[in-house]
Structure 1
């Protein structure tokens, strides 16, 4: 019974990870969205997605709430890498 509870937790986590991935409108690192590619290169959107996202559980059957905290870079400059 304990294992069944853990399986349910993993299913909920997987669903949340899918929802988070669908909300992102960019490709970055291991997160790949084919529709946001130019010439096969990942295209980050630092203006809209340079943040940490935390999801709030609102109860069974209710939609989770996404909270974001913008990342602030004082010592480095964000730059897009090219692998060509």
Structure 2
């Protein structure tokens, strides 16, 4: 569910529609810079709640990675 809700590729959430011409990931750190966990409340996926905790980087610079 989490990967389907992300408009980016990052780590284990690789999506073919979010890659550059060389096949590298296209990240969206502006909108997806958080740790998340889904809480399931019943059998239906629509009853799920997404909990987010924003990540604040102070000692490192966020940069795109090359996995090749």
User: Same fold by TM (over 0.5)?
Assistant: yes
Instruction: Find runs of 4+ consecutive structure 1 residues off by over 3 angstroms.
Output: none
Whichever structure has more helix as a proportion of its residues is 1
Q: Secondary structure at the match of 2:47?
A: coil
Higher relative contact order (CA 8 A, sep 6+): 2
Aligned to 2:43: 60
RMSD of aligned alpha carbons? 1.6
Name the TM-score, length of structure 2 as normaliser: 0.82
Q: Matches of 2:47 and 2:3 in 1, distance apart?
A: 15
Show structure 2 runs of 5+ residues with no match.
none
The corresponding residue for 2:15 is: 33
TM-score by length of 1: 0.68
Query: What displacement does 1:83 show?
Result: 4.5
The number of aligned residues is 66
